[in-house]
Structure 1
Amino acid sequence: MPEVTISIGSRQFEVACQEGEESYLHAAAKMLDDEAQVLSDQVGRMPEARMLLMAGLLLADKTASFEDQLGEVRKELAEREAELEKLRNTVVEPERIEVPVVPQAVTDGLAEMAARAESLAQEVEDKAAS
């Protein structure tokens, strides 16, 4: 198990951690050291145990605030997902387009005109061939 030296509040500590977790330990120690530095700047020198306790409480307060914010974001996300699911389940009726029916008399008239045109075309072909 690796031993890591961390610095918190200008004091050195030897801490053991799991293999591969050294970078996480250094990051956590840096956060704690930053809080201890704020305390040291405001209050001055204080006993080690008190400094660690106060720095830990400040971090815990920040963590609680972030957890509250995360809870609100998760709630809003759940609401948006529910709205999206509702939209996905909404059946959209296709637009109905009505085409008027062509009266039979018009259809018959067009058929008669087509027959006449074919008859005239045949006559022209016959005259051209002779």
Structure 2
Amino acid sequence: MAEVDFNIGHKSYTLTCQEGEERLLKRAAALLDTEAQAILAQAGRMPEPRLLLLAGLMLADRTTALEDRAAASERELARLKSNPQRVEVPVVPASLAEAMAELAARAEALAQKAEDQLPG
């Protein structure tokens, strides 16, 4: 077992965890401490149980909001997968393509004629 030291609010803690889980525990403690520090900045010093309760509730609220956003995104993705929108690519009509080819041929002919009239 590994021991991890961390601070939450105004108190130091030491917890044991499985080997390799130290980083996860430190990250979770840092999230809780961030919320606790925000509470302390607004309300000042308060009893440890109340601070931990409020910080935990704030994290739970944030987690719930993220879960709601993730669920909405998953529903939208499922909707798009089940009913993909039809995408139409404009096609140049054959008559317009022929007219453009004719114009290009005329332009080339005019360019050739102009070149032929150049001295030299």
Q: Which TM-score applies when normalising by structure 2?
A: 0.68
Task: Kindly name which structure, 1 or 2, has the bigger radius of gyration based on alpha carbons.
Answer: 1
CA offset digits 1:6-37 (Å, max 9, x no partner): 11003100111111011111111110000000
Please, which runs of 5 or more residues in structure 1 have no aligned partner? 88-130
In the alignment, what sits opposite 2:18? 18
DSSP 3-state at the match of 2:66 = helix
Q: Residue type matched to 1:49 in 2? A: P
In the alignment, what sits opposite 2:77? 77
Number of equivalent positions: 87
Q: Residue type matched to 1:40 in 2? A: L
Provide the C-alpha distance between the structure 2 equivalents of 1:49 and 1:32, rounded to a whole number of angstroms: 13
Q: Residue type matched to 2:27 in 1? A: A
Instruction: Return structure 1 stretches of 4+ with deviation > 4 angstroms.
Output: none
Please, which runs of 5 or more residues in structure 2 have no aligned partner? 88-120
Identity %, equivalent residues:
46
In the alignment, what sits opposite 1:97? none
In the alignment, what sits opposite 2:95? none
In the alignment, what sits opposite 1:6? 6
| Structure of greater relative contact order (alpha carbons < 8 Å, 6+ residues apart) | 2
In the alignment, what sits opposite 1:33? 33
Provide the C-alpha distance between the structure 1 equivalents of 2:14 and 2:86, rounded to a whole number of angstroms: 56
* CA root-mean-square deviation: 1.7
Q: Which TM-score applies when normalising by structure 1?
A: 0.63
